[in-house]
Structure formats: C-alpha cells, structure tokens
Structure 1
C-alpha cells in the first residue's frame, strides 16, 4: 500500500515522501515560501521504478498546491518536463 506524506522542517523545506508499507521508495524535494512551492528534485528508488511513483508524487504535489492556492516553480527536470508536455493541465499553478 502506497502512502505519500508531506514532511517539512521548521523552515518549510522537505519533501513529499512516498512510502510502500514502511519503506520510502520515492521523494519530491520542495520548499515553501508564502504562496510559492519550489520543486527541486524528484527521485524514485531503483526497486520502485516503472510503477508510476513519480507521477503519483506529481499528482499529490499539484493537489496540495491547488488546495492551498499556491503556484509552483518547477526547478526539478521531471516536473518541468511534465509541465511543458501538458501546459493546459498545469497553467493555473505554473510560475514561469
């Protein structure tokens, strides 16, 4: 069973972490300042590759951003590529 948790420190730096049972298999590293969420990196452990975990992290992050009226600065190559490939899907939250 997969679970994604947003885990931040006191400076609002951290990650959306994807766990399968109790093992962390993926993360999307972020920071939050005011209404801006910056994504730095998305990574999935080799044993979790090919299972759609990066897309699950992306979906969780975009749901969070929309629920909190934020915008995304996609510095992460994966997130930036997804935003460029599907601009209509992300135009409301994409800070270019």
Structure 2
C-alpha cells in the first residue's frame, strides 16, 4: 500500500512524496504562496511507472489545494496535461 505525505520547508517549498513499503517511489515538487500552489515537477521511479502513482499524488495535491482554498499554477507538464484533459473538473483551482 502506498502512502502520500506533504513535506514543506520554512519557505513553503517541498513536495508531495509517495512511499511504498518504506521506500520513496515518487515526488511532486511544489511551492506555496498565500493564494497559489505552484507545481514544478512530478516524477515516479522508472520501475514503478504506469501504476497510477503520479495520479495518486495529483489527487492528493488537488484535495490539498481545495481544502486550503488555493489556486494551482501547473508548471509541471503532467499536471498541466491533466488540467487540459479535464478542464471542467479543475476550473475551480486552475490558475491560468
């Protein structure tokens, strides 16, 4: 079973990390401001690609943004592609 954690430093930069059996297998690098969650990069261990782990981190990031009432600036290609494919699902948080 995978576990997702958000770790931030004092400057509100960090990542959503996904772990499986105690090993980090992916991360979604972010930065926070007062109103915006910027996603810079999403990466999953090559051996674990295609198993939905990026989507799990994406869903956790979306839930966090909604809970904290933040707009998401998708500089990451993966996140931007998800927003473009399903704009109606993310129009409330997508900072264009």
Name the TM-score class by shorter chain: over 0.9
Give how far 1:90 is off.
0.4
User: Is there any run of 5+ residues in structure 1 with no aligned partner, and where?
Assistant: none
SS of 1:92 mapped into structure 2: coil
Q: CA deviation at 1:73?
A: 0.2
SS in 1 for 2:11: coil
Corresponding residue number in structure 1 for 2:6: 6
Output the TM-score relative to the length of structure 1.
0.98
Shift of 1:35: 1.6
Unpaired runs of at least 5, structure 2: none
Match runs of 1:1-96 below 5 Å: 1-96=1-96
Structure 1 segments (4+ residues) deviating >3 Å:
none
RMSD of aligned Cα (Å): 0.5
Aligned residues: 96
SS at match of 1:81: helix
Note the alpha carbon deviations across 1:41-83, whole angstroms, 9 max, x for none.
Answer: 0000012111100100100000000001111000000000110
TM-score for the superposition, normalised by structure 2: 0.98
Structure 2: how far apart are the matches of 1:10 and 1:24?
Answer: 22
